[in-house]
Amino acid sequence: MLLKLFLLFTLVPIAELALLIEVGSHIGSLYTIALVLITGAAGATLARTQGLLVFARLRHSIGGGQSPGDALLDGALVLSGGLLLLTPGIMTDAVGFCVLLPLTRRPIRNALREAIARRIRRGAVHTHFTVS
């Protein structure tokens, strides 16, 4: 796990930097900086609106006595997408937008739910629930 995190935090920034340099060589440094700033601002706005919508869904499901599982996963994904969009880079922006947009977030959420369920079935994740 430590190796995966090390690779994530070293290879992704290097790839982002290389891509930004390449894009900058084609469109110019000012346009590249503008692109990063605009996607960051658009991402912050989108993250805010999607976050509020997810929070409303969470409140509605809890108020209706339903399990808030999907809303919680959506909330985690919206938070992650917002963080990715605030991180300067083109690849992280693309992934961040995919996670924030409901049309593309839904299959990501479903895949994440299935991955969690598989880990629980394998015994890799332990859950402790008490019903009172």
Of 121 and 28, more confident: 28
116: Cβ contacts below 8 Å, ≥ 6 apart: 125
* Alpha-carbon gap, residue 63 to 90, rounded angstroms: 39
Q: What is the DSSP secondary structure assignment for residue 126, as one 8-state letter?
A: -
Residue type, 32: T
Task: Name the residue among 109, 99, 46 with its Cα closest to residue 73.
Answer: 109
Task: Name the residue among 87, 78, 34, 38 with its Cα closest to residue 55.
Answer: 78
Q: What is the mean pLDDT of residues 65-70?
A: 85
What is the end-to-end Cα distance of the chain in Å, rounded?
36
- Give yes or no for residue 130 having a pLDDT over 70: no
pLDDT at 97: 93
Q: What is the mean pLDDT of residues 97-114?
A: 95
Confidence of residue 91 (pLDDT cuts 50, 70, 90): very high
pLDDT at 129: 64
- The whole-model pTM stands at 0.81
pLDDT at 122: 87
Whether the CA torsion 41, 33, 24, 92 is positive or negative: it is negative
- Give yes or no for residue 96 having a pLDDT over 90: yes
* E strands present in the chain: none
Q: What is the mean pLDDT of residues 91-97?
A: 93
Q: What is the mean pLDDT of residues 24-53?
A: 92
Give me the half-sphere count of Cα atoms (radius 13 Å) on the Cβ side of residue 52: 5
